[in-house]
Structure 1
Amino acid sequence: MEKVTTAVKAAFQPTAENLAFAGGLVTQLDGLVVKRKQWEATDYKKANEGLYSLLANCLDVFNSKFVNASDDDKKTLRGELKNRLTADGVRVQRNTTTLTMFVRFVFGSDRKRAHGYTYVLKAAISYDVTAASLPSWIVEQGGVEEVRKNMIVSEKALANRTALASAKAQVVANVEQASVTPLAKLNMSGVSGEYALLLAKPAPDGTVSIVGVISDINEAFYNACLVKMARVKAADNAESLALSKEGTDLLAGSSSIAANDPVNNEESLAA
């Protein structure tokens, strides 16, 4: 019988240079931890200058050391930060951003507060705010909480725009398909133009009565109709996604219950 060889992906092994990079950066973050503790012991209840300065230090380390580092250096650093955070009882997931790790490492704060600080740094990066100008920029924006709120709104607005654009593309494709295979076709005189709008009145018996017609609708009107259809489509997509996720969660839950069912466990052991 022919022997089959299976390739096994080698685990990532950081080099001495990778470890030196990570160690040096972690040492810098340890220094910021000391500053954070000093701030909490002195200025914490009096002013925000200390907080803004610490956030600026985090941004400076992130931009100057992490962003342009090699992939292996980044992997090594993430591993070191994960080990340190996990040892402190902080849960780190595979999709946790390095910026979030920085904040959790330096501030050692609760999850909600850490996410608020991370939003501030993400906003600063998105607006090309330098570390030196970060404290004054936060003041101009109305403080950390205001920046956090605006960032959340911006991310939600971006997600909504993306969902609407996707839905509009689906609507346009459906309209083009319906031009070949119409939803319905009827004889009606006096209707002209590349597109026309029919105002229909649905009846309880499932029939539809055409009660008004607008011929020769212009491009702006046509696009407005597409946007309205896209909004409905986006809502339907969101509902379908929610139902799909709910079904997946239920299946996962039932699988977990089944796995912990004494009867099932006994049957598995017997097999």
Structure 2
Amino acid sequence: MPALDRLEQWFTGIDNPRWARSGRPRIVVVEAARHAPRAVAAYGSGSATVWVRQEGAEEPVPAGSARDVVTFHGSFLADQGQITVPGRPHIDIRPYGVAELADITGPTVLRITDDEDFSAFLRDADRSRAGGPFPAHLTDRRVLLADLAGLGAPAERSGPADRLLIRPDGTVSTSPTGGRLGRVGDDPADLERQWRGHLAGSRRPCPVCLSGVLAERDRVDALAERPWLGDYLRAVEQRRWSPPVPAGGRPG
């Protein structure tokens, strides 16, 4: 899934062993090109990759110290839409609640955008826990569920040291559905302190990445009622990467 490989950690906020060979660079998504120079200067050093929204062909790629700057069309902020990068397959973004009804035709990111999406995710997990099948829209290799760090998975890669989003108004978060941590150009150490302060005040990680669309108490209560969600998400990941079962046979 080359179109999603480089962005997997940014979308999910979790550590994946398959990413280790690439060194786990910080990924910064900039949704307005006018903020790119400040974002590159503040957060683009070392092995960081900066993704900059290009709204027109005349938009220049910003110069700076970033090892890698990628321009894209579309928006990471959209609840439903596409992200396109020249020479790569487009990435579909969809709300979790419509995943069961929509055809998967290529790299796809499912996102929790409101209470209904969260409820649909919990229903799928409860059904699987009770002995039902894993949802087909989660076990497809072309699909990623965004912000796993806020849904019961480990959150050690979900902070601003690993992923950042710069919104068009200049505010900074770790996710399109996350709460504000500061403004573009703020010292990375300050953003990290803000993020860790939110972590310290919550009973379940990660309290930032979904705080723009879910009430924290509802999220925490749902996760506390399902302490097995981490195991469920690991099982889904294992199923995603298991060899396909031939018709009438065993896995290869």
| Bigger proportion of residues as helix | 1
Question: TM-score, normalised to structure 1's length?
Answer: 0.26
| Bigger proportion of residues as strand | 2
- Larger Rg computed on CA atoms: 1
Whose relative contact order is higher, 1 or 2, with alpha carbons under 8 Å and at least 6 apart? 2
Question: TM-score, normalised to structure 2's length?
Answer: 0.28
